[in-house]
Amino acid sequence: MTKEECKQVVLDIIADIAPDEDLTNIKPDVRLRDQMELDSMDFLDIVMELRKQHGIEVPEADYPQLASLDSCAEYLTPKFIALGK
Amino acid sequence: MRLCVFALKLRSVFHPLNTSTHYDVAIIGAGMSGLAAGIRLAHFGKKVCIFERHNAVGGLNGFYSLGGRKYDVGLHAMTNFVRPGVKGTPLTKLLRQLRIDRDEFALCEQKQSRVAFGPNGETSLRFTNDFAVFESEVARQFPAQIDGFRALVQVIRTHDEVALDTGYQSAREIVRRHLSDPLLEDMIFCPVMYYGSANEHDMDFSQFVIMFKALFFEGFARPFDGVRVILRVLVDKYRQAGGERRMKCGVARIVAQNGRAATLVLDDGTEVTADHVISSAGAAETQRLIESPITHPQSQITTGHPVGRLSYAETITVLDRQPAALGWGDDTIIFFNDSERFTYARSETQVDTRSGVICFPNNFDYGPDRQLAEGWFRCTCLASHALWADLPEEQYRADKAARYAEIQRSARRFLPPVDDATLTAATVATDMFTPRTITKFTGHLGGAIYGSPQKIRDGRTALSNLYLCGTDQGFLGITGAMLSGISMANLHVLAAK
Ligand SMILES: Cc1cc2nc3c(=O)[nH]c(=O)nc-3n(C[C@H](O)[C@H](O)[C@H](O)COP(=O)(O)OP(=O)(O)OC[C@H]3O[C@@H](n4cnc5c(N)ncnc54)[C@H](O)[C@@H]3O)c2cc1C
């Protein structure tokens, strides 16, 4: 999996959780929270959908790594690769 | 042989072979909160079963059939309505959390509502789903109070009402810092209390803020087909997510062992076990289910947790024409009070008809060519559970008829006059429920619509794996109950360390 593909995975999850958000112009280097209405319940859901859909575990201490699309890709891509994806 | 097959079939109907006796989570009650908690948990792969004593889902907000007609139990309006695009409010949060597309609820907005005070409703404040209307009404009727009102609104806007750890603050006291006219104060408290206070006379400021936002900043809406639309969506989501549901299957006892809910004993005597148990039955009601109750240092539920003191009676009148055709206009909800002060307290008589709520389900905006087939006129008043609970059946029926007439007479003072003969001729069916009905169908002690005055915000109980959701956790109403189920499932199961 490439970092770009990883960003798409995260975007797909957000689209699923928050279908009322417009995701067309999300800037990868800006905090997701600053670009759309995402609260702590929504972040919990991103983490849980990663586990449910992709078998990826994100410990609570690492939640800050999911702040922006870029940081998600940095953090998650190696995890996907480790799972052979 | 035939008999044998038949018996086998019967067995699989009553004891489906695929139901097992251990669950990740067992939920007590298929009301709004239990269903919402179930959807969250099943969606994330938990093995969940909801146990419901009644044969229908919905609890305090279900529906039933009578004489070939479908009635909603409680629904006046779903509060917290916001239009598409408005984010960060309870409605949008719950839609996201339950993966519900807002079109599935197909909510139709109210037309207009009002608060009418005085022996015949002389002072009236109109409001709609557009807050500016309410504000301009306050400015028009109470010009000397409008600056204070705006300051109060500012405080409400910035208050963090969902913080789980704020202590009790008197809402009356805070409101009085900004408003000096008791009439305006009461006219604001009346709708807020009727739609969401388990406390008499006063309420906690956070709960006041939750309800003020739900009613005035946000607003009222209803699906064309009533509450069953919402319930159908919830039940479908739950089933699709793999959740199990056992109806007519109450939880009779919770067996405690080592500070945990070890076993649930069902009404039919079967036993099931679960890692977590979430109960929407109420605080005192759940406490009573626990065999040999013990107290837990982290729990705020004590033995003898206070049972709610507030209950309602409601009359339902079905008409052969639209309420507007009778001359009743197009108000959706009317909160009324005839006395100098508004009293929100346990009724001293079977019903307290000094104040109440009128609802015309016809007066939502269902679109140009769509209207409910019949007219509906619903009135709610405060009522005393004790004075209804133990009446012999015959007396109960007779009193219902008498109080029905009394409630209707009282409410009609706040509507354009329609003579008795016309109303009688237009009436095709009536029904009425009392505090006794509420206890019978939902198990809530004292017929307490909004449960105990003492809420358990974190849901913790005497047992470490048993949590409350719904009414006694503290988020009230349809929207509140769903959010309660969601937040307790998140806090105690999904995000638990
Ligand atoms: C008359 C009336 C009008 C209302 N009008 C409105 C309105 O217009 N708008 C609005 O937003 N809200 C309204 N409400 C409030 C709203 O209905 C409730 O706040 C909400 O439905 C509460 O949901 P709940 O899940 O907390 O509890 P409940 O609905 O009470 O659910 C609890 C469930 O648990 C079941 N149960 C109890 N004990 C057991 C047991 N031991 N084993 C198994 N099952 C058990 C009960 O049968 C019930 O189904 C109204 C309520 C009433 C009564």
pLDDT confidence of residue B163: 73
**pLDDT score of B2:** 47
Q: What is the pLDDT of residue B305?
A: 86
Q: What is the pLDDT of residue B302?
A: 55
φ/ψ of B445, rounded to 5, equals: -60, 145
CB contact under 8 A, B45 and A52: yes
Taking the Cβ of residue A29 and every Cβ of chain B, the question of whether any pair is shorter than 8 Å is answered with no
Residues whose beta carbon lies within 6 Å of some atom of ligand 1: B 28-34, 51-54, 59-61, 74-79, 250-251, 280-281, 285, 289, 312, 314, 438, 442-444, 449, 470-471, 476-478, 481
Distance from CA of A83 to the nearest CA of B (A): 20
C-alpha–C-alpha distance, residues B233 and B32, integer Å? 11
CATH number of domain containing A27: 1.10.1200.10
Nearest of B241, B243, B242, B263 to residue B253 by alpha carbon: B263
Report chain B (497 residues): mean pLDDT per 10 consecutive residues. 45 48 97 98 97 95 91 93 93 96 96 97 97 98 98 96 79 98 98 96 95 98 97 98 97 95 95 98 94 55 79 97 96 98 97 98 96 97 96 97 98 97 97 94 91 92 96 92 96 89
pLDDT of residue B166: 72
Parent domain of A61: 3-82
Asked if A42 reaches chain B (Cβ–Cβ under 8 Å), the answer is yes
Ligand 1 atom 48, closest CA: B59
Q: How many CB pairs under 8 A join A and B?
A: 34
Q: Which residues in chain B are closer than 8 Å to A16, comparing Cβ atoms?
A: 99
- Give the count of domains, chain A: 1
- Residue B164, pLDDT score: 63
Interface contact A37, partner B, CB < 8 A: yes
**Of B44, B46, B96, B492, which to mutate for an interface test with A (greatest number of A Cβ within 10 Å)?**
B96
Q: What is the ipTM of this complex?
A: 0.90
Residues of chain A with pLDDT under 50: none
Q: Is B97 on the interface with A (CB under 8 A)?
A: yes
Set of chain B residues whose Cβ sits within 8 Å of the Cβ of A18 = 96
CA distance A85 to chain B (A): 22
Q: What is the C-alpha radius of gyration for chain A, rounded to an integer number of angstroms?
A: 12
Rounded to the nearest angstrom, the minimum Cα separation between A73 and chain B is 23
- Which residues contact residue B50 at a Cβ distance below 8 angstroms, ignoring those fewer than 6 apart? B27, B28, B29, B30, B34, B35, B38, B238, B243, B244, B245, B246
